[in-house]
Structure 1
Amino acid sequence: MDPKSTQSKVSFYNEISLMMFGFGDSHKPNPETVRLVESITIKQLKLIVQEALKYVQKNVLEGEELLFLMRHNKHKMRRFVQYLHNKETKNMLSQLQSNITDVDGDKPKCKLLKFIEMIDETGEFTDLNEVDEIKFQRQLRADRISQALDEQKYLEFCKARSVSFSSKSTVRNMEKLRLWIDPNNEVVFKPEALDVLSYYAYQTVAEITDYAILVRMDGKFSMDPMQHLTGSYYNATMFNGDFRFINSTGSNPDYSRVYSGQPPISVNEIKEVMRRVYMPQAGKLNFGGKVPETHFLFAL
């Protein structure tokens, strides 16, 4: 099969659209915006793969090389460690539900966790006691959005929040992810590498959406004296005024339309995010401090 033909057929448009809704965009994100986010995500994944290949002898990625790239950001590494712990817990519960009785024995530690512990000289990568501010802000935003939804919309919102690049059939989606990243089959991806890449892709979409909301709120509330308060940037920006409550007719409004002052995240807002990411001095998306060399790679 022609690799170009394969690449053109592989798309995560539907998944990304739902993810953006789950992260705080409109109930029906702008199709052009979703396509742009998909384009940015795949470009960043390919750059990450190319960076990781610098640490291997052959074009074989085991997963550790991908994690090594994240070593400069302890907060993101901790988030990935929590992801691995949650995944292990989920697998254990699945085994219990399947009446598999040998789950009480000592199990070998996850290969990726072993590697993280090996490079964790100070223990800060695996210290999960510190509050994850970004995760907290996302949860706060989701909570505020959910309070404005009726039962049907809330169920749709929960479904959207459960979508990821590996939320369906794992084997099928991992193969789809591999074809998306490497249509020419030039790299050998071990299962752990694809797992890391699916996580990186998910976090990339999350951060782009986060930053797009920051850009919108920055433009709207630049003169707001309360904007420094925790969570002010992460309000349910699409639900204001009457749209927070059941209206006089007894039904909630069509959240796919948002309201006239808050359309779905636009292409221009995503472009502004990228402008600030590539030129941090133009905005405050990096939240101060020295900008790492990989600052333009959202997942790292």
Structure 2
Amino acid sequence: MEPQKVTYFTEISLMMFGFGDSHKPNPETVRYVETIVLKQLRTILNEATKYWDGKLLRGEELVFLMRKNKWKMRRFVKYLNLKHLISTRCESKLETQPKPVRPHELLDFIDRIDETGELTDLSELDEVVHQRQVRAGYISQALDDAKYLEFQKARCVSFNSRGTSRSANLEKLRAWVDPKKLINTSDIAMEVLAYYAYQTVAEMIDYALLVRMDAKRTGDPLSNLSGFHYTAAMFVGEHRFSGPNPDYSRVYSGQPPITVAEIREVMRRFNVSQAGRLTFGDKLPETSFLFAL
């Protein structure tokens, strides 16, 4: 009897809804997104093996790949801080005299590689996260109580959701990313991969919605070129820095699902060498085309 194929179709479908897609995403689009996420995770895993000891991938190697993007590293630091806070509260509930919970070991590693202090500086507004929150707010305001609860549940889904045990979640992810068990990965490394997978889905939906806004745009094709996250080579049309707010309240009632064609357009733009990157005639490294990094 052949082993059952590991899939994250249901989880990705819910995540796409939580990030702003229709409440019933296109199944073909979900499968396409799943394929892209899996391919990118395997690329990240292989890239990380350039820095490991050949015995065990511990997690630091995966985090090291993110060192050149301060915004994404800051989001990861916030994620680790939240995990630490949750662990602290859990300890305080279980023990009358709780022991101090040690900060996540990856935070120590990030501190060691953060020579300028910018990777752990959380004082600046993260425009990308802010826009995701604004989008979720627009959607929430348009929903009744029952649909709002459904939307919030979708926003809580991840590749490491709490519905099952932590070990079961990590083993499922291992079987999905590395079914032949070619790389020995620690649980912490798998948690980092789960985070990368989640952020990959989030960015793809961000970009797909901007592709849709570009398609509806009229006027001067060279206007609205500003932006530090979505570069001019990626999106030259109307986006979050200008123009009227899109009607995200239609997500539940009338917005058509994101199509495969829109995701393909995202990938086409994302895989084009973008402006502002100094390559001195060399090809961009493969990690430049990974959403999570």
Structure-2-length-normalised TM-score: 0.86
Which of 261, 264, 269 is the equivalent residue of 1:271? 264
How far, CA to CA, are the matches of 1:220 and 1:82 in structure 2? 35
**1:60 CA drift (Å):** 2.0
Which of 14, 30, 48 is the equivalent residue of 2:10? 14
Deviations along 1:68-120, one digit per CA (max 9) or x if unpaired, are 100110000000000000011111122223345314x3x43321011100000
**Alignment RMSD (CA, Å):** 2.2
How far, CA to CA, are the matches of 1:234 and 1:201 in structure 2? 28
How far, CA to CA, are the matches of 1:19 and 1:100 in structure 2? 37
User: Which residue of the partner structure matches residue 134 of structure 1?
Assistant: 128
Residues 96-107 of structure 1: matches in 2 within 5 Å? 96-99=92-95, 101-103=97-99, 105=100, 107=101
CA contact (8 A) 2:140 2:249 kept: no
User: For structure 2, which runs of at least 5 residues remain unmatched after alignment?
Assistant: 225-237, 279-283
**1:280 CA drift (Å):** 4.4
How far, CA to CA, are the matches of 2:96 and 2:185 in structure 1? 30
CA contact (8 A) 1:20 1:209 kept: yes
How far, CA to CA, are the matches of 1:88 and 1:231 in structure 2? 37
User: Which residue of the partner structure matches residue 38 of structure 2?
Assistant: 42
Which of 199, 203, 222 is the equivalent residue of 1:203? 199
User: Which residue of the partner structure matches residue 289 of structure 1?
Assistant: 276
CA contact (8 A) 1:213 1:234 kept: no
SS at match of 1:167: coil
CA contact (8 A) 2:9 2:31 kept: yes
Aligned: 1:180 with 2:201:
no
How far, CA to CA, are the matches of 1:115 and 1:231 in structure 2? 39
How far, CA to CA, are the matches of 1:177 and 1:270 in structure 2? 23
CA contact (8 A) 1:17 1:34 kept: yes
CA contact (8 A) 1:53 1:61 kept: yes
Count residues with an aligned counterpart. Answer: 270
Aligned: 1:124 with 2:118:
yes
How far, CA to CA, are the matches of 1:236 and 1:229 in structure 2? 13
SS at match of 1:180: helix
User: Which residue of the partner structure matches residue 227 of structure 2?
Assistant: none
User: Which residue of the partner structure matches residue 87 of structure 1?
Assistant: 83
Structure 1 segments (4+ residues) deviating >6 Å: none
| Identity rate, percent | 54
Counterpart code for 1:145: I
CA contact (8 A) 1:141 1:236 kept: no
CA contact (8 A) 1:19 1:205 kept: yes
How far, CA to CA, are the matches of 1:212 and 1:100 in structure 2? 49
Residues 52-63 of structure 1: matches in 2 within 5 Å? 52-63=48-59
How far, CA to CA, are the matches of 1:79 and 1:97 in structure 2? 27
Which of 188, 193, 202 is the equivalent residue of 2:189? 193
Counterpart code for 2:246: N
How far, CA to CA, are the matches of 1:231 and 1:60 in structure 2? 47
